[in-house]
Amino acid sequence: MEFSIKTAEFVTSAGLTLELPQPAGAEIAVVGKSNVGKSSLINSLTGRNKLAKTSATPGKTRLINYFLLNGEFYLVDLPGYGYAKAPKDDQKKWGELMERYLSSGRVSHLFMLIDIRHDPTELDRQMFGYMLYYGIPYTLIATKADKLAKSKRKQAANALAKKLGAPPYAIAYSSETGDGRAELLERIGAVVHPDAEISGTAAE
Protein backbone atom coordinates (compact mmCIF):
# COMPACT_ATOMS: atom_id res chain seq x y z
CA MET A 1 0.00 0.00 0.00
CA GLU A 2 1.32 3.44 -0.89
CA PHE A 3 2.38 5.49 2.11
CA SER A 4 1.04 9.03 2.48
CA ILE A 5 1.21 11.83 5.01
CA LYS A 6 -2.29 12.84 6.05
CA THR A 7 -1.64 15.03 9.08
CA ALA A 8 1.34 16.98 10.39
CA GLU A 9 1.61 19.14 13.49
CA PHE A 10 4.36 20.88 15.43
CA VAL A 11 4.80 19.36 18.90
CA THR A 12 7.71 21.00 20.73
CA SER A 13 11.27 22.32 20.58
CA ALA A 14 14.08 20.97 22.75
CA GLY A 15 17.48 22.36 23.70
CA LEU A 16 20.47 21.09 25.66
CA THR A 17 18.30 19.86 28.53
CA LEU A 18 16.87 17.39 25.99
CA GLU A 19 13.34 17.52 27.37
CA LEU A 20 11.90 15.41 24.57
CA PRO A 21 8.26 14.37 24.06
CA GLN A 22 7.08 10.88 24.87
CA PRO A 23 8.19 8.39 22.18
CA ALA A 24 5.60 7.82 19.44
CA GLY A 25 6.49 4.95 17.16
CA ALA A 26 9.34 5.67 14.76
CA GLU A 27 11.48 8.79 15.07
CA ILE A 28 13.03 10.04 11.82
CA ALA A 29 15.51 12.90 12.16
CA VAL A 30 16.52 15.32 9.40
CA VAL A 31 20.08 16.64 9.50
CA GLY A 32 22.28 18.72 7.21
CA LYS A 33 24.38 21.86 6.99
CA SER A 34 22.83 25.29 7.38
CA ASN A 35 20.80 26.39 4.35
CA VAL A 36 20.74 22.92 2.75
CA GLY A 37 16.94 23.02 2.69
CA LYS A 38 15.79 21.00 5.71
CA SER A 39 12.77 23.16 6.53
CA SER A 40 11.79 23.38 2.86
CA LEU A 41 11.97 19.59 2.54
CA ILE A 42 9.80 19.09 5.63
CA ASN A 43 7.21 21.55 4.31
CA SER A 44 7.26 20.00 0.84
CA LEU A 45 7.04 16.48 2.22
CA THR A 46 4.08 17.22 4.48
CA GLY A 47 2.30 19.57 2.10
CA ARG A 48 2.29 22.26 4.81
CA ASN A 49 4.09 25.37 3.54
CA LYS A 50 4.59 26.93 6.98
CA LEU A 51 4.99 23.85 9.20
CA ALA A 52 8.75 24.26 9.53
CA LYS A 53 10.00 27.84 9.58
CA THR A 54 12.30 28.68 6.69
CA SER A 55 14.71 31.58 6.75
CA ALA A 56 17.11 33.31 4.38
CA THR A 57 19.50 33.48 7.33
CA PRO A 58 21.59 30.30 7.71
CA GLY A 59 21.85 28.83 11.20
CA LYS A 60 18.33 29.96 12.17
CA THR A 61 17.31 26.59 13.63
CA ARG A 62 19.18 26.12 16.92
CA LEU A 63 16.79 23.74 18.64
CA ILE A 64 15.52 20.24 17.96
CA ASN A 65 12.01 20.65 16.51
CA TYR A 66 9.51 17.79 16.75
CA PHE A 67 6.65 17.26 14.30
CA LEU A 68 4.05 14.52 14.74
CA LEU A 69 2.95 12.99 11.44
CA ASN A 70 -0.19 10.91 10.95
CA GLY A 71 -0.49 10.87 14.73
CA GLU A 72 1.92 7.91 14.79
CA PHE A 73 5.55 8.97 14.29
CA TYR A 74 7.91 11.91 14.69
CA LEU A 75 9.80 13.80 12.01
CA VAL A 76 12.55 15.71 13.81
CA ASP A 77 14.29 18.80 12.42
CA LEU A 78 17.84 19.02 13.82
CA PRO A 79 19.86 22.27 13.96
CA GLY A 80 21.97 22.88 10.85
CA TYR A 81 25.74 22.73 11.08
CA GLY A 82 28.58 24.56 9.38
CA TYR A 83 27.35 28.16 9.69
CA ALA A 84 30.70 29.97 9.73
CA LYS A 85 29.37 33.12 11.44
CA ALA A 86 27.97 31.20 14.41
CA PRO A 87 29.78 32.10 17.66
CA LYS A 88 32.17 29.44 18.95
CA ASP A 89 29.96 28.97 22.00
CA ASP A 90 26.97 28.21 19.76
CA GLN A 91 29.02 25.73 17.75
CA LYS A 92 30.02 23.97 20.97
CA LYS A 93 26.41 23.82 22.15
CA TRP A 94 25.40 22.38 18.78
CA GLY A 95 27.96 19.60 19.20
CA GLU A 96 26.75 18.78 22.70
CA LEU A 97 23.10 18.84 21.63
CA MET A 98 23.71 16.53 18.67
CA GLU A 99 25.79 14.11 20.69
CA ARG A 100 23.16 13.83 23.40
CA TYR A 101 20.36 13.36 20.89
CA LEU A 102 22.11 10.86 18.62
CA SER A 103 23.20 8.76 21.60
CA SER A 104 19.72 8.80 23.16
CA GLY A 105 18.62 5.60 21.43
CA ARG A 106 15.44 7.30 20.17
CA VAL A 107 16.42 7.77 16.53
CA SER A 108 14.96 5.14 14.20
CA HIS A 109 16.41 6.62 10.99
CA LEU A 110 18.37 9.67 9.83
CA PHE A 111 17.79 11.63 6.65
CA MET A 112 21.08 13.37 5.86
CA LEU A 113 20.72 16.22 3.38
CA ILE A 114 23.46 17.37 1.01
CA ASP A 115 23.19 20.09 -1.66
CA ILE A 116 23.28 18.29 -5.02
CA ARG A 117 25.34 21.12 -6.56
CA HIS A 118 28.32 20.88 -4.20
CA ASP A 119 30.77 18.24 -3.04
CA PRO A 120 30.40 17.10 0.58
CA THR A 121 32.24 19.36 3.04
CA GLU A 122 34.50 18.21 5.85
CA LEU A 123 31.61 18.87 8.25
CA ASP A 124 29.37 16.65 6.12
CA ARG A 125 31.93 13.88 6.47
CA GLN A 126 32.07 14.43 10.22
CA MET A 127 28.29 14.20 10.43
CA PHE A 128 28.34 11.02 8.38
CA GLY A 129 30.96 9.67 10.80
CA TYR A 130 28.65 10.41 13.76
CA MET A 131 25.86 8.47 12.08
CA LEU A 132 28.10 5.47 11.53
CA TYR A 133 29.51 5.68 15.07
CA TYR A 134 26.04 5.60 16.63
CA GLY A 135 24.90 2.89 14.23
CA ILE A 136 21.79 4.74 13.09
CA PRO A 137 20.22 3.61 9.78
CA TYR A 138 20.21 6.44 7.27
CA THR A 139 19.14 7.66 3.86
CA LEU A 140 21.10 10.32 1.95
CA ILE A 141 19.05 13.01 0.22
CA ALA A 142 20.52 15.33 -2.42
CA THR A 143 18.50 18.55 -2.14
CA LYS A 144 17.85 21.36 -4.66
CA ALA A 145 17.72 18.81 -7.49
CA ASP A 146 15.75 21.25 -9.65
CA LYS A 147 18.99 23.21 -10.08
CA LEU A 148 20.25 20.41 -12.37
CA ALA A 149 18.85 19.03 -15.60
CA LYS A 150 16.46 16.16 -14.88
CA SER A 151 18.66 13.71 -16.81
CA LYS A 152 21.63 14.47 -14.54
CA ARG A 153 19.96 14.39 -11.11
CA LYS A 154 20.14 10.71 -10.23
CA GLN A 155 23.74 10.34 -11.35
CA ALA A 156 24.78 13.47 -9.42
CA ALA A 157 22.98 12.31 -6.26
CA ASN A 158 24.61 8.89 -6.34
CA ALA A 159 28.04 10.42 -7.03
CA LEU A 160 27.64 12.65 -3.94
CA ALA A 161 26.95 9.61 -1.78
CA LYS A 162 30.08 7.93 -3.09
CA LYS A 163 32.18 11.05 -2.39
CA LEU A 164 30.85 11.06 1.15
CA GLY A 165 32.10 7.50 1.61
CA ALA A 166 28.68 5.87 1.53
CA PRO A 167 27.23 3.28 -0.86
CA PRO A 168 26.46 5.15 -4.12
CA TYR A 169 22.77 5.80 -3.50
CA ALA A 170 20.96 9.03 -2.63
CA ILE A 171 17.49 10.35 -3.34
CA ALA A 172 17.54 13.42 -5.62
CA TYR A 173 14.95 15.77 -4.11
CA SER A 174 13.47 19.14 -5.04
CA SER A 175 11.23 20.99 -2.61
CA GLU A 176 10.27 23.29 -5.49
CA THR A 177 8.99 20.63 -7.92
CA GLY A 178 8.37 17.64 -5.64
CA ASP A 179 10.87 15.54 -7.57
CA GLY A 180 11.91 12.61 -5.35
CA ARG A 181 8.93 13.00 -2.98
CA ALA A 182 7.32 9.67 -3.92
CA GLU A 183 10.61 7.83 -3.39
CA LEU A 184 11.15 9.50 -0.02
CA LEU A 185 7.59 8.73 1.10
CA GLU A 186 8.21 5.10 0.24
CA ARG A 187 11.32 5.14 2.42
CA ILE A 188 9.42 6.74 5.30
CA GLY A 189 6.68 4.14 4.98
CA ALA A 190 9.26 1.36 5.27
CA VAL A 191 10.76 2.95 8.42
CA VAL A 192 7.40 3.59 10.07
CA HIS A 193 6.05 0.17 9.11
CA PRO A 194 9.19 -2.02 9.12
CA ASP A 195 7.32 -5.09 7.88
CA ALA A 196 7.34 -3.39 4.47
CA GLU A 197 10.40 -3.63 2.22
CA ILE A 198 12.72 -0.64 1.81
CA SER A 199 13.52 0.08 -1.82
CA GLY A 200 17.00 1.15 -2.90
CA THR A 201 20.11 0.84 -0.77
CA ALA A 202 20.78 2.33 2.63
CA ALA A 203 23.55 1.55 5.04
CA GLU A 204 22.93 0.56 8.61
pLDDT digits (tens, 9 = 90+) for 130-162: 999 999 999 999 999 999 999 999 999 999 999
Per-residue confidence band for 78, with pLDDT thresholds at 50, 70 and 90:
very high
37: left (phi over 0), alpha (psi -120 to 50) or beta: left
**Which burial class, exposed, middle or buried, applies to 76 when counting CB atoms under 10 A from its CB (0-12, 13-18, 19+)?**
buried
Task: Confirm if 28 and 76 have CB atoms less than 8 A apart.
Answer: yes
Q: What is the pLDDT of residues 89-131, one digit of tens each?
A: 777 888 888 889 999 999 999 999 999 999 999 999 999 999 9
On the 0-12 / 13-18 / 19+ scale of CB atoms within 10 A, 134 is middle
Domain 8-16+23-192: CATH superfamily is P-loop containing nucleotide triphosphate hydrolases (3.40.50.300)
pLDDT at 34: 87
Comparing C-alpha atoms, which of 102, 61, 75, 84 is closest to residue 21? 75
Cα separation of 61 and 161, whole Å? 25
Q: Which sequence spans correspond to the domains of the chain?
A: 8-16+23-192
pLDDT in tens, 164-175: 999 999 999 999
Quote the percentage of the chain above a pLDDT of 70. Answer: 89
